[in-house]
Amino acid sequence: MSMAVNGNTANAVIRTENLTRVYHLEGEDIRAVSGVTLAIYPRQMTAIIGRSGSGKTTLLNLIAGLDDPTEGEVWIMGRALRSMDERARLALRREKIGFIFQSFGLLPLLTAAENVGVPLRMRGLPSHEREARVREALEWVGLSKRARHRPYELSGGEQQRVAIARALAAQPQIILADEPTGQLDSQTGKRILELLRRLVSERGITLAIVSHDPMVMAEADVVHELRDGKLIETRYKG
């Protein structure tokens, strides 16, 4: 059963209205996302769930401004993405949004510390500030002693912690995570989920996670469920 968006949407950090994405494949229209209206509120862990092919990753890409909707609109902190050119969208992602990926997204020839520092270099931060942020982020995820190790010298859980540190070092207001526990065993996934929860409770970050992991669903404050590109249900904890 679909439920109305809870609360005052003016307070939403992320808001979508009638969001639709249609792909044209071999003469056929595929509605990957179909008329999705939802709101994501500050300092909450929000899960977007659904089976493979439900449209959840497409929805995340639309929210991030990495893809353009066929219809509808996305607002990030009150700004309509359609009204922004690509330079403005890039600046928004660089300064306000952190990303965590299922495949970790680390550069194999760089150390953990260098990987964490990549987005800070892209922003042109001075070296002393960059190094301080990298140090603090790696300490926060418990990897200070692994700073000089390259990805192939780290376990899957450690690589994901580096990816979390990389997102954290940029000091974003929003973090978007695509299947962050998808490549991890259940115990490691649980530890990563605890770390993600701390981002919300200790750092005040708004966290949106695309996942089919039952642990994510159980931990999230809000769960939006997609099926065949449509939002079919929204559940609130408590």
The pLDDT, as a whole number, for residue 237 is 86
Instruction: Please tell me the predicted confidence (pLDDT) of residue 101.
Output: 85
Q: Which residues pair with 39 in a beta bridge?
A: 15
Average pLDDT, the chain: 91
Give tens-digit pLDDT for 5-62: 445 677 999 999 999 999 988 888 889 999 999 999 999 999 999 988 899 999 999 9
Q: Mean pLDDT, to the nearest integer, of 112-124?
A: 92
Q: CB neighbours of 51 closer than 8 A, spacing ≥ 6?
A: 212, 227
Tell me the mean pLDDT in the region 125-149.
Answer: 94
Average pLDDT over residues 85-112: 91
Q: In terms of C-beta density within 10 A (0-12 exposed, 13-18 middle, 19 or more buried), how is residue 217 classed?
A: middle
pLDDT confidence band for 4 (50 / 70 / 90) = very low
Q: Write out the two tokens for 182.
A: 């998808």
Read off the amino acid at residue 181. T
Position 5 scores a pLDDT of 44
Residue 88: which H helix or E strand, with range? helix 86-96
22, burial (CB in 10 Å: exposed 0-12, middle 13-18, buried 19+): middle
Instruction: Report the pLDDT value the prediction gives residue 6, as an integer from 0 to 100.
Output: 47
Round the CA-based radius of gyration of the chain to a whole number and report it. 18
Residue position matching structure tokens 């404050």:
221
CA–CA distance, 30 with 32 (Å, rounded to integer)? 6
Which pLDDT band holds residue 155 (cuts at 50, 70, 90)?
very high
What percent of the chain has pLDDT above 70? Answer: 96
DSSP 9: G
Say which amino acid occupies 194. E
Report the pLDDT averaged over residues 145-171.
94
User: Which residues, listed in sequence order, are joined to residue 38 by a DSSP beta bridge?
Assistant: 16
Which domains, from first to last, does the chain contain? 43-68+85-236 (3.40.50.300)
Q: How far is CA 101 from CA 6, 132, 163, 167, in A?
A: 28, 24, 8, 10
The percent of residues in the chain predicted with pLDDT above 90, rounded, is: 79
Among left, alpha and beta (phi > 0; psi -120 to 50; other), residue 43 is left
Q: How high is the pLDDT of residue 238?
A: 67
**Residue 163 pLDDT > 60:** yes
The helix-helix angle for 127-140 and 112-122 (nearest 10°) equals: 130
DSSP string, 162-210: HHHHHHHHT--SEEEEESTTTTS-HHHHHHHHHHHHHHHHHH--EEEEE
